[in-house]
Structure 1
Amino acid sequence: MAVVLVAGGTGFIGSHIVRRLLADGHRVIAMSRSPGRAQGRLPQGVELRRGDTADASTLGPALEGVEVVVAAIQFPNHPVENPRRGHTYVKVDGEGTVRLVEAARRAGVRRFVYMSGAGTREGQTKPWFLAKLMAEKAVRESGIPYTIFRPSWVYGPEDRSLNKFATFARVLPFVPVIGSGRTRVQPLYVGDLAAAVAASLGAEAAVNQTYEIGGPEELTMDEIVRTMLRVMGRRRPLLHAPAGLVKLAAWPLQILPDPPLSPAAVDFVLMEEPVDNTAVLRDLGIKLTPLAEGLSYLR
């Protein structure tokens, strides 16, 4: 068992990774910019340490005695960037991960696990891909044995994307869907991603590997929302809004302190990046959860 620090360990994905690692017997440290706010949100036995990837001076103390780092950092209100607050992909996920990797190298960390994203590859130009490419390069060139995961759309309790559709189904007579509803996605249950991260720490085959990982089903957005409605036991028509119109409506919202949507976030939502699970299933032996089963928390 190892001493594992999860950067972003109080966030949606990070907190599930923390719980899985703790259940597997690791000593787990959750790093957060504001650990005081996270008190009571994580299980007993998890140590909270302050660390901010925007401030390199905080990372050395946070990494003291750490053997493994799992980087699952996200900026607040993701995927809507807020440049005035420094909440952008490049600043947080890109430059922040570069600082964390360098601090991990100085601290003698023996393994680094990074949460990238589906579709990350050379030639991509969207800001989220540029940030992921910057971070992946730093991880690979660090000299630290690593594992990189490129997950598809991750859902589960506390997520702020698929659960928005559930909220719409509860309060509206219809469920709004951006675009045609034909965008194809492989929704990935957060517990499966956490299981893959945990399995990678004990798998020699996972050292210095990059894994795509998505759910077992490739579904359109309409199929995803209809599956969610069936699980909830509700009937609602789907109302499709043209992407261009939604972008136009989102443009003025960017002046708000925490805008609910932005034109770039619309592009993020409509991203179609299929993944191949062959390698992750072969090397890590995990089981992928069908969407209807993963959504059982909505019943």
Structure 2
Amino acid sequence: MLIKKICIIGGTGFVGRTLANHLTRKGYQLRIPTRDRESHRQELILLPTTELVEGDVHDPQQLRELVDGCDAVINLVGILNERGRDGRGFHKAHVELTETILATCRAAGIQRYLHMSALNADAERGPSHYLKSKGEAEHKALAAEGYDLHVTSFRPSVIFGPDDSFFNRFAKLLKLTPLVFPLACPEARFAPVYVEDVAEAFVRSLNDPATYGQGYDLCGPHEYTLQQLVEYTAQCVGLQRRILPLNNFLSRLQAMVFDFVPGKPFSTDNYLSSQVASVCTNGGDLQRFDIDATAIEAIVPRYLGNHSMRSLYNEFRREAGRH
């Protein structure tokens, strides 16, 4: 199977931008759909061999036009929260979109599909709408494996890197909270995996027939409790904060209150997801791709140490863009 051109759905996001850089360095031509081309021009338009195209990937006809001429499709779309609380937003973003993409791949004669799932994704036993919908989407993707479409799925733990929504979000929240920081689900466990390692796993699987029909767990080299990660974040940004661990009742109560806060910094669905440890058995599958997992200690201090300066710079860019 000769792959020259790839459509990355969700390519304007945190992982997508990193993966686009990896693929362009390998010489692949990329097409990245977006609903707002102008808002992503500075991040992606300068990448060689990359085409940023406006379109709605949820519309079957538009998606068919977006993948036309491509040899492979990568689906990175995922949401951590929905506007409502009944799971319909998760189902649309994860399950319905995956169904549309798989049908479009077959109609367009595309034979390679890479799918971003999540650690603990399980359609039957997932404790949250997020994990259930991710599990259902992954099941549908892997079930589509066959002679006319070859599928590989990836299940990462929380992904970290300079533009992540994990360490950066906690850094912002810590700055907004004086002296004491109340932390829900402090004993939740994670094995954070570096975004560059995740992107490289995608790249190395692309032309590897041994990965067809397979799903891979991706984790970093160490496990941490959420409290340890938040304490480390405070250390990296130079803040002295007392982390106040909340018990299960108060954690769930905080989640219920935050369900109604704009932007949902924490939600009941997040709380339910955190009840399952986001860690890999036997360290995960990065070694399958000859990738040495990168520790947070090697990367996180570099970008959190400059967090204030980057925040000011990003705010300046936003203000400049308005004029």
Letter in 1 for 2:125: Q
Change (3 A) 1:94 1:242: same
> How big is each residue's C-alpha offset from its partner over 1:164-187, in whole Å with a ceiling of 9 and x where there is no partner?
2111333433443213x2222101
Q: Which residue of 279, 303, 308 corresponds with 1:297?
A: 303
Matched, 1:66 2:66: no
Q: How far is the alpha carbon of 1:117 from its aligned partner?
A: 0.7
> How big is each residue's C-alpha offset from its partner over 1:111-151, in whole Å with a ceiling of 9 and x where there is no partner?
10000111124631432232223222322233311110011
What residue number does 1:10 align with? 12
Letter in 1 for 2:108: A
TM-score by length of 2: 0.82
Equivalent residues of 2:153, 2:216 under 8 A apart: yes
Equivalent residues of 1:5, 1:28 under 8 A apart: yes
Could you say what secondary structure the match of 2:43 adopts? coil
For residues 222-233 of structure 1, what are the structure 2 equivalents within 5 Å?
222-233=227-238
Change (3 A) 1:277 1:208: farther
Deviates further, 147-156 or 18-27: 18-27
TM-score by length of 1: 0.88
Q: How far is the alpha carbon of 1:97 from its aligned partner?
A: 1.0
Could you say what secondary structure the match of 1:80 adopts? coil
State how far apart, in whole Å, the 2-side matches of 1:200 and 1:190 are: 16
> How big is each residue's C-alpha offset from its partner over 1:175-213, in whole Å with a ceiling of 9 and x where there is no partner?
43213x222210111111111111111333222211011
What residue number does 1:56 align with? 60
Structure 2, unpaired ranges of 5+: 306-323
Letter in 1 for 2:168: N
Equivalent residues of 2:35, 2:54 under 8 A apart: yes
Structure 1, unpaired ranges of 5+: none
Change (3 A) 1:25 1:7: same
Q: Which residue of 195, 199, 202 corresponds with 1:194?
A: 199
CA RMSD of aligned residues (A): 2.5
Change (3 A) 1:258 1:224: closer
State how far apart, in whole Å, the 1-side matches of 2:89 and 2:129 are: 8
Q: How far is the alpha carbon of 1:87 from its aligned partner?
A: 6.9
Change (3 A) 1:59 1:187: same
Deviates further, 34-43 or 191-200: 34-43
Letter in 2 for 1:28: L
Change (3 A) 1:277 1:57: farther
Could you say what secondary structure the match of 1:49 adopts? strand
Change (3 A) 1:158 1:87: farther
Could you say what secondary structure the match of 2:32 adopts? strand
